[in-house]
Amino acid sequence: MENIVFITGASNGIGEACARKFAAQGYNLILNARSVDKLQQIKNELTEKYNIQALVLPFDVRNRSEIVQALESLPVEWKNISILINNAGLVIGVDKEFEGNLDEWDIVIDTNIKGLLAMTRLLVPGMLERAKGHIINIGSIAGEAAYPGGSVYCATKAAVKALSDGLRIDLVDTPLRVTNIKPGMVETNFSVVRYRGDKQTADNFYKGIQPLTGDDVAETVYFAASVPAHVQIAEVLIMPTNQATGTISYKKQ
Ligand code: 8X3
């Protein structure tokens, strides 16, 4: 099978929006997240709507043996992956660096850095063999500079930038491309997880400003994937019109 895109964290937010966008453009999907149900629902919806195939591949990107097992279990027709969207990522809490919960930070670091790195390490060799591939990492404006309450999350997204830049260097003599998409404020379940399930606080965060949607980001991801093969969109910083930096935005009272 041709035109296979592998999306981690595909069960909601930017990952789900990417699944919808790429399906609409005729891509076949490998949909990954930790739980099966939502992925199955997305698969059913998109394979009914579009002339594509989709494979649900649940695993936790923090668990390396689960990743290896899942990739080894891929039917041969699904191995020809042309795009990897390293989207799985999260933040828990807005604590100061000297006050937060180390166990929560392990989850954030293991998902945002080590999970992304493992997926890259395991899928890029196949892309190299086939001389075709695009790794699209979902970074963040948080990787540009630290902001209050974001210390560890910002560090992980700075790491995503370094891993993207490093991979681009390592692949410079190949046809493979590496893109780091760095969104600012996007209204998804992401903020609810950041505020440990407090939906009210998450909603309040977007009061007075029109945030990006997952679809807005997916449009940019798809753009990066769809430019001619000799063009490499290295980075895109994308934010709401009324946001200027990770810390400066304008919210109507
Ligand atoms: C999430 C965007 O603005 O919360 O990556 O740092 S922000």
Kindly report, residue by residue over 188-222, the tens digit of the pLDDT. Answer: 999 999 999 999 999 999 999 999 999 999 999 99
Question: Is ligand 1 within 6 A of the CB of residue 11?
Answer: no
26: left (phi over 0), alpha (psi -120 to 50) or beta: left
Q: Hey, which of 140, 236, 237, 239 would you mutate to test ligand 1's pocket, going by the most ligand atoms within 8 Å of its Cβ? A: 140
Question: Is ligand 1 within 6 A of the CB of residue 140?
Answer: yes
How far apart (Å, rounded) are the C-alpha atoms in residues 17 and 108? 22
Q: Hey, which of 186, 201, 236 would you mutate to test ligand 1's pocket, going by the most ligand atoms within 8 Å of its Cβ? A: 186
Report the alpha-carbon angle 35-89-118, nearest 5. 85
- Residues of the chain above pLDDT 70, percent: 100
pLDDT at 253: 84
Nearest CA residue ID for atom 6, ligand 1: 142
Task: Kindly state the tokens that stand for 20.
Answer: 């919808």
Which residue from 68, 107, 66, 65 is spatially nearest to 88, judged by alpha carbons? Answer: 107
Task: Kindly state the tokens that stand for 71.
Answer: 């990739």
Question: Is ligand 1 within 6 A of the CB of residue 185?
Answer: yes
3-state secondary structure of 80: coil
Q: What's the CA-to-centroid distance between 184 and ligand 1, angstroms?
A: 5
Q: What's the CA-to-centroid distance between 53 and ligand 1, angstroms?
A: 32
Catalytic hit among 27, 50, 153, 222: 153
All domains of the chain in start order, with CATH: 4-184+211-238 (3.40.50.720)
Provide the residue-wise pLDDT of the chain in tens; the chain has 253 residues: 999 999 999 999 999 999 999 999 999 999 999 989 999 999 999 999 999 999 999 999 999 999 999 999 999 999 999 999 999 999 999 999 999 999 999 999 999 999 999 999 999 999 999 999 999 999 999 999 999 999 999 999 999 999 999 999 999 999 999 999 999 999 999 999 999 999 999 999 999 999 999 999 999 999 999 999 999 999 999 999 999 999 999 999 8
**Is 147 in the active site?**
no
How far apart (Å, rounded) are the C-alpha atoms in residues 101 and 115? 20
Eight-state DSSP code of residue 249: B
Residue 137, phi then psi, degrees to nearest 5: -95, 135
Nearest atom in ligand 1 to 142's CA = 6
Q: What is the pTM of this model?
A: 0.97
Q: What's the CA-to-centroid distance between 185 and ligand 1, angstroms?
A: 5
Sort 91 into a burial class: Cβ within 10 Å, 0-12 / 13-18 / 19+: buried
pLDDT at 106: 98
Q: Hey, which of 141, 161, 193 would you mutate to test ligand 1's pocket, going by the most ligand atoms within 8 Å of its Cβ? A: 141
